[in-house]
Amino acid sequence: MLLQMAWRNLMRNRRRTLLTLSAMSLGVCAIVFGHSFNEATWSKVIRQVTESQVGHLQVHGAGWQAEPELGNVVADPAQVEARVASALPGARLAQRVLGYGLAGTEKQSAAVVVMGLQPEREPSGEGPLSVVRGRALSSERSGEVVLGRSLADQLELEPGGELVMLGQAVDGSMANDRYTVAGVADAGSDELDATAVFLNLADAQAFFGLGGVHQLLVRLPTEDQDVSAHLEALRGALDLAELEGLSWDQMLPELKSVVDQKRGGIKGLAAVVFLIVALGVLNAMTMSTFERTREFGVMASLGTRRGTIRRLVVTEALLLGVVGLAVGVALAAAGIGAVGSIDMSGLTSSGDMVGVRIPSVFELRLYPSSVGQAALTVLLTVLAGGLWPAWRASRLKPVEATRSV
């Protein structure tokens, strides 16, 4: 009954209702689109980080993240792996060694990051294994290296070339050796492209004279960005006097704060839309209740309760909101479907943000959280725009109101 009356009332001034609705739909569409765009970007960045760069979680020797000393290792990675695997079933594990050195030739050299890894356990085609020239690393100890592509350019080295490396071993002696360049990789960030030398874990351990590994990467079978429950499970399985367990957002706090900040930005957009649309709703509802002063007077005279009048007007506003939300989400969904994936490479120079390459191509999706964000905004909007007129209409004095023209 109330719903029917509300709908009829809205339809009495179609032009006004339509205008308010279109403002609301466009607002909703903007919020959903903006939110999806943002989520698509950041979920891709985070996926890239967790998949190719740091994994979801990592195990180190205690204190290594804060002070990555060469000698601070996970001494018995096989035993730790067994524990992690039983605490986090389905997780993919990989060991890495990370050190520093000088690499080059008789003509030039550069300071480099030396990363030893297990190619067979890293996601193929990503990061160190995303080879643009030559071959990827072999899973055997081979005396081969893969270079980040800007480093290869700087050292004027191509696959097949010879690289000499100098560093300090864990006992303080000077590590040095020569390697064959197997390939050149798109290492995943500008920084790594310019500094990374990747080699097989065993080669890296031999170079630095190391027994254990520095990082045990844990890649979880989840799309979820919040891995705090997994982290708890991991830490529960570790001897925390000797080891530490960290999540990607603890290892990359800058990235985490940038993502949070960008998400805050979408809330800002929602707030602006909210303000504009709420004023529109307020205006429409005020006009509509003002025009109906006499009608409300008559209703009151006939014994309609104040609460009923109030509910009627609020229902009108809510109805506006529901229709506006539905149309807006439909519009946004159609837009997202039509656009599909966005290639930003022409718009922005592909660059790094806090050490992570921002992808230039990403696929838009209608995220439930985007719709949630829009629905919340609409609800607040119609309440802000509808409550006051509803209250006003319910407070009219029947005698005066029936006299009004």
Site residues (vs another protein, CB under 8 A): 71, 102, 104-111, 162, 164-166, 168-169, 171-178
Question: Smaller CB distance to another protein: residue 71 or 359?
Answer: 71
> Rounded to an integer, what distance in angstroms lies between the CA atom of residue 353 and that of residue 93?
26
User: Smallest distance from the beta carbon of 205 to another protein, in angstroms?
Assistant: 14
Q: Which is nearer to another protein, 99 or 328 (CB)?
A: 99
Report the alpha-carbon distance of residue 337 to residue 118 in Å, rounded.
39
Question: Cβ closer to another protein: 110 or 342?
Answer: 110
H/E segment holding residue 357: strand 356-357
Cβ-proximal residues to 359 (8 Å cutoff; 6+ apart), any chain = 41, 44, 45, 48, 350
Q: Please work out, in degrees rounded to the nearest 5, the angle formed at the alpha carbon of residue 77 by the alpha carbons of 129 and 181.
A: 30
The smaller minimum CB distance to another protein, of residues 164 and 380, is found at: 164
- Compare residues 209 and 335 and give the one whose CB is closer to another protein: 209
CB of 246 to another protein, least distance (A): 24
93-120 in b/e form (b: 16+ CB < 10 A) is bbbbbbbebebbeeeebeebbbbbbbbe
**C-beta of 333: minimal distance to another protein in Å?**
55
Q: Smallest gap, in angstroms, from Cβ of residue 191 to another protein?
A: 17
> Closest CB to another protein among 199 and 313?
199
Tell me how crowded residue 368 is: count the other CB atoms within 10 A of its CB.
Answer: 8
Taking the complex as a whole, how short is the minimal distance between the CB of residue 162 and another protein, in angstroms?
Answer: 8
3-state DSSP assignment of residue 405: coil
Report DSSP state, residue 128. G
Q: How far is CA 86 from CA 58, 93, 215, 274, in A?
A: 16, 12, 18, 49
At closest approach, how far in Å is the CB of 203 from another protein? 13
